[in-house]
């Protein structure tokens, strides 16, 4: 893959990056005169590279704009990672966090295992059902390890997969408050009839609302898919990328894991079939429940969570495109709103009903 292209949101699979690639002078200033870049990630929302330090050690360097994550915001992620690592979850250690100019730099250990999904888009199925099952087991381990981590939910930030709006009794009021706190999002919504648009979300929220009190709050990963795991012998050997972690619920995280792997969103955006991975969903849940069986309330909530679980992230992505990028990217903001925030939920209300019905039958049968 060309080093001057990253994964795109629209119909173009590869596009120019929003941020310049990490440069040799940056790496030298950060890690020493003999440090050098060996590989650059195609992920679009930060600049990330595999770097060989002057001591010869491989590390991962990620550069983020401070408007997206300053050192204090990264500490929110690192605290959760430290807790999980102390409970035996294999997570690479953070070696350095440093603010330089308009950017924040994060240096992490490489992690144990192979990056099997390095070239895959985030919304990609697992290569094999056995890997989906193993990923489910690791997710259950992570949720068990997260018990007792009682940090408050993160404040509204760009690029967060929170569960604040649709866990609220009144999502419209909650979204109004969110927009008041995020001016770029507010400007975007003012030019759209968003209250009418989210009726499709509110239908699912109405079914979910009676079950919310039975869902225990828990810090979760919130971006669980094959590309955020390292692998050894078809099993996850390291868990990476906690940039979206927050205080949600365990079943919210399970829903994200299903949403990421069960539907071929790339095919759909190109006019193709959804290729619903029923076997992958069953494998992931089978692995998960081998260690942490879903409660009845969680199992019943899952079919109505699936159409909502990605929505808040897309609003935070709009905030990123219009409030963090120096020149803004209104095209991607519009894609985030129409194709993902609205489009995903509408798909779950239509063709996605088959998978939701199967999960509902699984919960009641």
Concatenate the DSSP letters of all residues of 318-354 into one string: HHHHHHTSTT--HHHHHHIIIIIIIHHHHHHHTTTHH
According to the model, what pLDDT value does residue 269 have?
A: 85
Enumerate the β-bridge partners of residue 63: 47, 105
pLDDT (0 to 100) of residue 33: 92
End-to-end Cα separation, the chain, in angstroms: 47
What is the pLDDT confidence band of residue 54, given thresholds at 50, 70 and 90? confident
- Position 7 pLDDT exceeds 70: no
3-state SS class at 44 = coil
What string of DSSP letters covers 279-296? HHHHHHHHHHHTTSPPPH
pLDDT above 70 covers a percentage of the chain that reads 95
pLDDT for 24-43, tens place per residue? 999 999 999 999 999 888 77
Return the closest-CA partner of residue 92 out of 109, 115, 73: 109
């Amino acid at each position: 893959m060309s080093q001057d292209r990253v994964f795109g949101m629209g119909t173009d699979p590869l596009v120019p990056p929003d941020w310049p690639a990490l440069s040799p002078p940056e790496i030298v200033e950060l890690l020493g005169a003999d440090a050098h870049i060996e590989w650059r990630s195609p992920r679009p929302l930060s600049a990330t590279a595999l770097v060989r330090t002057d001591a010869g050690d491989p590390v991962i360097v990620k550069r983020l704009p401070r408007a997206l994550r300053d050192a204090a915001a990264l500490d929110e992620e690192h605290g959760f990672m430290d807790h999980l690592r102390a409970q035996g979850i294999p997570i690479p250690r953070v070696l350095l966090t440093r603010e330089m100019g308009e950017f924040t730099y994060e240096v992490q250990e490489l992690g144990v295992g192979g990056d099997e999904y390095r070239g895959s888009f985030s919304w990609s199925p697992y290569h094999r059902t056995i890997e989906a099952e193993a990923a489910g087991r690791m997710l259950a381990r992570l949720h068990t390890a997260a018990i007792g981590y009682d940090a408050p939910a993160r404040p509204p930030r760009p690029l967060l997969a929170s569960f604040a709006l649709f866990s609220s009794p009144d999502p419209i009021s909650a979204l109004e408050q969110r927009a008041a706190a995020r001016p770029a999002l507010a400007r975007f919504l003012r030019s759209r009839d968003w209250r009418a648009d989210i009726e499709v979300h509110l239908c699912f929220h109405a079914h979910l609302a009676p079950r919310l009190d039975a869902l225990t709050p828990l810090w979760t990963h919130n971006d669980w898919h094959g590309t955020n795991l390292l692998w050894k012998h078809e099993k996850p050997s390291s868990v990476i990328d906690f940039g979206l972690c927050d205080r949600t619920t365990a079943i919210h995280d399970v829903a994200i894991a299903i949403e990421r792997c069960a539907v071929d969103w790339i095919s759909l955006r190109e006019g193709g079939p959804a290729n619903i991975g029923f076997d992958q969903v069953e494998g992931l849940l089978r692995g998960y429940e081998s260690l942490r069986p879903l409660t009845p309330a969680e199992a019943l909530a899952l079919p109505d969570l699936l159409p909502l679980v990605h929505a808040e992230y897309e609003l935070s992505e709009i905030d990123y495109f219009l409030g963090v990028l120096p020149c803004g990217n209104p095209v991607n903001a519009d894609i985030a709103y129409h194709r993902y925030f609205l489009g995903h939920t509408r798909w779950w209300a239509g063709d996605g009903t088959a998978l939701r019905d199967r999960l509902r039958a699984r919960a009641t049968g």
